Amino acid sequence: MRQLIRPILFVLACLVWAACSSTKSLKPGQHLYTGAEVKINPDSSGKIDDEKQVKKDLESKTRPRPNSSILGIRYKLGIYNLAGEPKKPKGFRNWLRRQGEPPVLVSEVKLKYNNDVLTSYLISEGYLQASVTGDTIVKDKKGKAVYTAETGNRYKINKVTFPPDTGVLTKIINQNKNKTLIKAGDYYDLDNYKNERIRIDNDLKEQGYFYFSPDYLIMQVDSTIGKNLVNVNIKVKDITPDAALKPYSIRDINIYPSYSLRRDTLLRKLKPLEYHDFSIYDDRNTFKPRLFDRLVFFQKGEHYNRKDHNQSLNRMVNIGAFRDVRAEFLPVDSFKNNQLDLNIYLTPLKKNSLSFSVTGTSKSNNFVGSELKVTQTTRNLFRGAEQLDVSVSGGFETQVRGTSLGRNSLSFTAEGKLTFPRLIVPFYKPNSTNAFIPKTITSLSYQMLNRGSEYTLHAIKGEYGYNFKENQYKEHNLNPISISYVSTSFPSDTTRERIFTQNPLLRNTLENQFIIGSNYNFTYTNQMETNRRNNVYFYGGLETGGNVWGLFTPTNDKGQKTLFNTPLTQFIRAEADLRDFYKINRNLVWANRLNLGYGYAYGNSSSLPFVRQFFAGGSNDIRAFPARTLGPGTYKVPDTALFADQGGDIKLMLNSELRFKIVSVLYGALFVDAGNIWLRKEDVGEPGKPETARLGSGFKLKNAFNELAVGTGAGLRVDATIFVVRLDVAFPVRKPYLPEGQRWVFDDIAFGNKDWRRQNLIFNIGIGYPF
C-alpha cells in the first residue's frame, strides 16, 4: 500500500493545479462566476438585528451556485479541466469529466429572478417594505453578483384575533389559543404563520376532525395601522367543505393480518374472528389476536385522533413482522354521517430466511483473514411476532508482518437470540403507549478461539434483558442477568508456563473465570435530523459483575469467591462516548469524539477481566498505533512479546476529523487522534520477578495529559450510503513511552525514509466510519 502514496499525491497535485488554473479553459467573452455578495442598507447608518445571519441566508438563496470548493480550491472544476475535451464518446476521460463540474459562468446569473427571491424572503421575515437590486461585477476572467438590499423597518405583531366561538370547531381553536406561535410583540414571520396553521390542524385532528386541513385556515394581515405594526386575524375559510367541519368517530375496526392483493376477495368473504373491538379476517391464524391489543390504539366509538393513528402505524412498522402496512379510513354512507370504518391491511414477512455473509479483514496489528457467517431467521415463532435468529460463523487470521510471521488463529462462534416484542417482567403487566415496541431479548452464545500451538479459549455467554426506545432520540438497554464463563486449555503445562513467562499479563487474561452481573446502557442521537447544522451522539454504559452473587458464593482456600471451583470476578465498569458532527457547509463536516472509561475491580479481582478491559490503538481508535499495542500509561510492550493485547482499567480518548467530499461517492478526511489507557494501580509484577513489572502503567491524574499518545493522518472513504469502505493512513507525532521531553516526534518525521515509513506508517482498512 505504501506504493500508492506517490500516485495519490501526484493526482492530488494535478487536481490542485487544474483547479488553480480554472479560467484557462474559458472561451473569449466567458467569465467564471465566483459567487454572490449581499450588501444590506449600505447607504444607511442603521443596522438590522442579526445582520450577519440575514446576509448569509440571502446569499445562500441566490442562484446559480458557484463551483464547489474546499479551502478556496474548486476541486470539481479542476477534475473537469483535468479530463479535458474527450475525443471518444466512452472511456476513462469521459467518466472523469462526468465526476467534475463544468465552469459556472456569470452569463448564467438571472438578476431579476434573484432580486424577486431575495425580496420575497425579506418580506417573509417582516421587512414588508424591502427591495433588492442586483448587478454583476467582472474583473479579468472572473465575475461576481452584488445585491443591494434596502430592508426598511421590520414589522411587529400588534394584535392576534382568533375565530369567534360559534361552534365546536371554533371552541377547540380558542381553547388552545394559549399555545399559539403568533404572539403580540413578536416580529412578523411567514414561517410562524404556516406553522400556526399546522398547530391548529393538529389540535383539531386530535378531536376527530379527520378531513380538516391547514389550507382551510387563512391568516389575514393588516399592515395599514401604522408604526410598523400589523394585526393578524385567524379565520376559517368560508369555502371549507362540510366534511371538514365535523368530528368523526370510529365505527368498525377490520384487521387483515395476512393480506395480499391476490387474496383480497377471499379475505373479505371470510367470517371474522371478533376479538375485543377488532374484527380479524385471517383463515390461517397467522397471529394471536392479543398481539393487536399492543399494535392498534383505536377503539370502537371513540373519536378519530392523529396520535393513535401515528402510534398504531409506528408500532406495526417497528415490530419487524410485516413487509407492508396500510391503514385505510373510509367514511360510512358517503359522508352522510360522522363515522369512519378503519381497515388495516398487513402483509407479513416470510417466516424463514437464510442469509450469508463473507468478510475480509486487514487489521492494524498485521493480521489478515476472513470470516463466513450463516444466519437463520425465523419470524413469528409463537404467533406473537417473536423472532429467532440462529447464526454460525467461522474464520481465520494469519499474521503477515511482525516478529512472529505466519502465526495463525481460528475462530468458531454459534449464537441464538430470541426477541419478544413486549416486556416480560414477573408480576407486572406493562401498558406502554409508546410508538416504539419494547422488546425482551434472550441470547446464548459459544465462542472458540484457537491460537495454533499456543492455547484454545472457550467462552459461553447468556443474557436476559430489555430494549426500549423512549422516543426516536433515546434508547435504553437493560440486561439484569448476564453470565459469562471463560476457560482456556493448553497443549501442555510447559506451553502454559512459557506463555505466562513471556507475557505475565496473559495470566489474568487466560485464567478460567465466571462473570455474573448486570449491565445498562443509554443512547441519545439526533443524527436522523439531516437538516440540522449540528448533530450529536451520546452513549453511556454501566456494568457490574459479581456484586450480588459474591454475597452467596463460597470462598476457597485462597480467599477467593468461587462458583463451581472457578473464581468469580467482581468489578464495576462505566463508559461514556460523546460525538459531535458540525456541518461547516454541505460538503464539509467537522466530527469530534470524547471517549471516557473507568473500571474498579474489588474482592476477588485486582483488575478488570480481560474481556471487559479498555484498549487503545486500531482502526476505530487511535489510528497511528496498531490495535491494542498502546499503553498502559508510559509502558511499551516489548517487541519480543508473544501477543500485544495491552488492556487497562481507565481510558481517555479524543478524536477530531475533518470530512469533505471529493467527487461523487468518494470522500476524504484529515484527522488527529489522542489518548491512552492506564491501570488503576501500578503493575509491580510478580514477587521476586521485577522483569514482569509494567513500570509507568498506573494512573495519576496530574500526569494523564502528559502521557497521551497523539497521531494524525488522512483517509479516503467510498460512501455509497448503504455501505462505507474506508482507508486511513496515520503516523504518530507523540509517543508516550519515550522519556519525558522526547515524546513529541515531529523532528523525526521523514516520509522519504523507508525505515521510518516501515516503523511509523499505519494503514487501516475498515467498514463504516471510525465514529
Split at pLDDT 50, 70, 90, the class of 3 is very low
pLDDT at 651 over 60: yes
C-alpha cell at 154: 421590520
Scan for cell 385505510, then name that residue: 328
Instruction: Answer yes or no: is pLDDT of 19 > 80.
Output: no
Please report which confidence band the pLDDT of residue 200 belongs to, taking 50, 70 and 90 as the band edges.
Answer: very high
pLDDT, mean of residues 345-356: 94
Distance CA 162, CA 219 (A): 10
What would the grid cell of residue 604 be? Answer: 476477588
On average, the pLDDT of the chain sits at 87
393: number of Cβ within 10 Å: 17
Q: Contact, 398 vs 406, CB < 8 A? A: yes
Tell whether the model's pLDDT for residue 4 goes beyond 50: no
Q: What is the pLDDT of residues 117-153, one digit of tens each?
A: 999 999 999 999 999 999 999 998 999 999 999 999 9
Asked if 541 and 605 count as a contact pair (C-beta separation under 8 A), the reply is no
Between residues 246 and 559, the one the model is more confident about: 246
pLDDT confidence band for 431 (50 / 70 / 90): low
The type of residue at 425 is V
| H or E element at residue 33 | strand 32-40
Nearest to 515 by CA among 446, 434, 459, 440: 459
pLDDT in tens, 472-494: 899 999 999 999 988 888 888 77
- When pLDDT is averaged across residues 289-295 and rounded to a whole number, the result is 94
In 64-163, which ranges are continuous DSSP H helix? 75-83, 92-99, 111-124
Residues 6+ apart with CB under 8 A from 167: 245
d(CA 132, CA 111): 10
Indicate the SS3 state at residue 119.
helix
pLDDT band, very low/low/confident/very high, at 44 (cuts 50, 70, 90): confident
CA 467 – CA 701 distance, rounded (Å)? 36
What pLDDT is recorded for position 764? 85
CB 200 within 8 A of CB 163: no
Distance between start and end Cα atoms, the chain = 24
Closest CA to 443 of 412, 459, 458, 464: 464
HEC per residue, 627-667: CCCCCCCCCCCCCCCCCCCCCECEEEEEEEEEEEEEECCEE
In 223-366, at which residue ranges do the beta strands (DSSP E only) sit?
Answer: 229-236, 249-256, 273-275, 278-280, 322-331, 339-348, 352-362
The mean pLDDT of 272-277, rounded to a whole number, is: 96
Quote the cell numbers at residue 303: 373519536
DSSP assignment letter at 127: -
For 539-551, the pLDDT digits (tens) are 999 999 887 766 6
| pLDDT of 618 higher than 60 | yes
Mean pLDDT within 262-277: 94
C-alpha cell, 417:
437470540
Burial 220-237 (b: 16+ CB within 10 A, else e): ebeeeeeebbbbbebebe
Q: Cell 464547489 sits at which residue?
A: 68
- From 51-55, 240-244, 403-407, the region with the lowest mean pLDDT: 403-407
List pLDDT tens digits, range 520-544: 999 999 999 988 999 999 999 999 9
Question: What's the rounded mean pLDDT across residues 63-67?
Answer: 93
Closest to 267 in 3D by CA, of 250, 286, 280: 280
- What pLDDT is attached to residue 364? 46
CA–CA distance, 575 with 184 (Å, rounded to integer): 48
Distance CA 366, CA 754 (A): 18
CB 412 within 8 A of CB 397: no
Find where cell 421575515 sits. Answer: 125
Overall average pLDDT of the 167-181 stretch = 94
Confidence check: pLDDT of 331 > 60: yes
Instruction: State pTM to two decimals.
Output: 0.78
Query: What is the model's pLDDT at position 420?
Result: 96
Q: Count CB atoms within 10 A of the CB of residue 470.
A: 12
Letter string b/e over residues 630-640, b meaning 16 or more CB atoms within 10 A of that residue's CB: bbbbbbbbeee
Give the DSSP per-residue string, 171-215.
HHHHHTGGG-S--TTSBP-HHHHHHHHHHHHHHHHTTT-TT--GG
Segment 30-57 mean pLDDT: 90
* Three cell numbers, residue 597: 472509561
- What are all long-range contacts of 740-744, with beta carbons under 8 Å and residues at least 24 apart? 740/706, 743/706
DSSP-derived 3-state class of residue 557? coil
Q: Are 287 and 380 in contact (CB under 8 A)?
A: yes
Please give the pLDDT value at position 403: 46
What is the tens place of the pLDDT at every residue in 586-606? 889 999 999 999 999 887 677
